[in-house]
Structure 1
Amino acid sequence: MRFLLHGLLLSALLLGVAGCETGGEDDDRLRVVATTNIIGDLVRTIGGDDISLASLMGPGIDPHLYRASEGDAHRMSRADIVFYNGHHLEGRMTDLFEQMGQRGVRTEALAEVIPDGLLISSPDYPGHRDPHVWLDVSLWQIVAEHVRDVLVAMDPDNAEGFRARTAALLDEMAELDSYLHERASAVPDPRRVLLTSHDAFKYFGKAYGFDVRGLQGISTATEAGTADVQRMAEFIVERQIPVLFAESSVPERGIEAVRRAAQAKGFNATLGGTLYGDALGDRGTPEGTYIGMMRHNIDTIVEGLLRDPN
């Protein structure tokens, strides 16, 4: 009965907004919606002024827990295409994506275009894949090429611009990937351990050589308990890890509890700054772009791990 009611409410929401009118009716550009601001940044870079883009989630928003508003449903219902991550990153919006597809809105799950052999299995949800693919630049390049191809197919009149902007972006991403590898190599192997608020950085760790441990699981919908806090604290003491990292879209209290638990065991770890995992920073800041976010993350991680643990 709960699922039936949920479906009826969702249908009513869509029907209620379908007839609403908004500004910009004279704008004949391709209407695009992106769920996260990470996807929005990618689509904006490739689409440029040739598309009309709306991103649903802003800085500091946790996509695992995000619930679509009536305004979000309205934007999606009027879009030509909705780009979302998939692999259950936007877990509470899954039914809405299905409804949009049934209503003739094209939907593209970007993480799901990556070959399965390059994906990491989810330890929390057997049979599922870790959705945080953007934290490996080489995988996000695959996604960028797919976005380009989709936009070209939907708007061939602007194909030249889409292709040119994508080519420039791929060059930037190649430079970024080299920078990440170079910076990571400055950390000695015994110290290449990354402890974060939730387990979003596995692709990052695999690509750039870090042992990654998250207090919460791949989805922040999975709560961390006292045993999880104590287990991570024991690991910190055993390995003498000097620094832990908070994440912009996850409350700091969990990772701070780990730091205090390690301190109670006689080891003083510190919080090494904030990483951007599931969301970019504010628009207009370096961390408000994908390139800037990734540079911020590696610089923060390397500087933190190279600190003197004493």
Structure 2
Amino acid sequence: MRAPQRARTRVARLRRLLAGLLALVAAATATACSGSREEARIVVTTNILGDITRQVVGDQAEVTVLMKPNADPHSFGLSAVQAAELERADLVVFNGLGLEENVLRHVDAAREAGVATFEVGEAVDPLTFGTGEDGGPEDEAGQPDPHFWTDPDRVRKAAGLIADHVSEHVQGVDDKALRANAARYDEQLAELTAFMEKSFGEIPEDRRNLVTNHHVFGYLADRFGFRVVGAVIPSGTTLASPSSSDLRSLTRAMDQAGVRTVFADSSQPGRLAEVLRTELGGQVQVVELYSESLTAENEGAATYLQMMRANTTAMTDGLAVGSPEGTQ
């Protein structure tokens, strides 16, 4: 083989080798980018906030929700694996204001480990519990009420703030897509507010009295003009228990207000109905609501929008009519 030909052959081989190396580098870079994109993770404590976050984030990042459907946010706990997930997240979204009582220490640990966290309840102008005279728990008067999601306007604010925190702290997110998701969800929440206003407008003013299993609908009452007469459990948490004197006080308040409809979490309406029948000695209608947890699919409240529409319909039907003919 002539020298010029051998030189051309070596150059061709070098070019093929260089092309192969460039292809390997490009593949490695793509894999690294893909890997970092797949690893972008948001961890959310409660399933209500989890749904709101997923509506905003869409497919831009993985969203892990710690609280299972039909669970109690006041009492659910974490496994060791779930606790570890918090410290591997890019962003932790949590309700705060004392709601997730068994989980907040893990959120604190993640924050101390350098994970970005967002306490939603603190950021949406929280209300405080009132006094026993206006339906609030006396022992918790002045403390922040964590149940902000019963006011859809505050959820609109929360959704926008979640989008802001995701944009700031989660790498690889398409901000344009994120903002489009947030805008679409904001429209749906505005429609929810309009639906609730129209529905509650059908309830006469003298029947806008709420009795619940515990103090969870203060934001809804404040937003839509209801009076909270009292709660079977006179507390902002389900971990408390009613005493005989608590129940006597509640029954007196119900008698004075002419209330015979009580709204209870869907997980325990039967037990509540029996307690109230014993104390009131008369007819009581117990209406089931989804108050602090979403359900599994096809169980009535798998999303926040479904939950609030179902609750609005149940409350309107339960209060728009007079005293029930029978009991549950």
Is the TM-score greater than 0.5? Answer: yes
- Distance in 2, Cα, partners of 1:211 & 1:252: 24
> Which of 89, 102, 108 is matched with 2:118 structurally?
108
Say yes or no: does 1:159 pair with 2:167. Answer: no
Residue of structure 2 in register with 1:190 after alignment = 206
Match for residue 70 of structure 2? 60
2:308 counterpart letter in structure 1: M
* Residue 76, structure 1, aligned to residue 86, structure 2: yes
* Residue 25 of structure 1: how far off its partner (Å): 7.0
Could you state the TM-score of these two structures normalised by the residue count of structure 2? Answer: 0.80
Alignment match, 2:164: 149
Residue 209 of structure 1: aligned partner: 225
1:244 aligned onto 2:238: no
Q: Which residue of 2 aligns with 1:296?
A: 310
Correspondence for 1:120: 128
2:144 alignment partner, one of 129, 136, 141: 129
More divergent stretch after superposition (162-171 vs 57-66): 57-66
Shift of 1:234: 2.3
Q: Name the SS of the counterpart of 2:301 in structure 1.
A: helix
Where in structure 2 are the equivalents of 1:1-40 lying within 5 Å?
28-40=38-50
Q: Under a length normalisation based on structure 1, what TM-score does the superposition of the two structures give?
A: 0.84
Does the Cα contact within 8 Å between 1:32 and 1:83 map onto a contact in 2? yes
- Paired residues, what number? 281
Whether contact under 8 Å (2:60, 2:173) holds in the other structure is no
Q: Which has the larger radius of gyration?
A: 2
Structure 1 spans left out of the alignment, 5+ residues: 1-23
Give the superposition deviation at 1:112: 0.9
Q: 1:131 is matched by which residue type in structure 2? A: P
Do the aligned residues in 2 keep the contact of 1:249 with 1:277 (CA within 8 Å)?
no
Indicate yes or no: 2:98 matched with 1:93: no
Q: What is the Cα deviation at residue 198 of structure 1?
A: 0.6
Q: Which region of structure 1 is more displaced relative to structure 2, 189-198 or 209-218?
A: 209-218
Structure 1 residue identity aligned to 2:232: L
Distance (Å, rounded) in 2 between the aligned partners of 1:231 and 1:126: 17
Instruction: Name the SS of the counterpart of 1:196 in structure 2.
Output: strand
Alignment-mate amino acid for residue 119 of structure 1: L
Q: Which amino acid aligns with 1:305?
A: L
- Structure 2's unaligned 5+ residue stretches are 1-33, 131-136
Going from structure 1 to structure 2, the CA distance change for 1:244 and 1:121 (only over 3 Å counts) comes to closer
- Give, in angstroms, the shift of residue 126 of structure 1: 4.9
Q: Distance in 2 between matches of 1:121 and 1:237?
A: 23
Residue 291 of structure 2 is matched in structure 1 by 277
Please give the alpha-carbon distance, in whole angstroms, between the structure 2 residues aligned to 1:48 and 1:284.
21
Matched, 1:260 2:278: yes
- Counterpart in 2 of 1:307? 321
- Structure 1 range deviating more: 121-130 or 192-201: 121-130
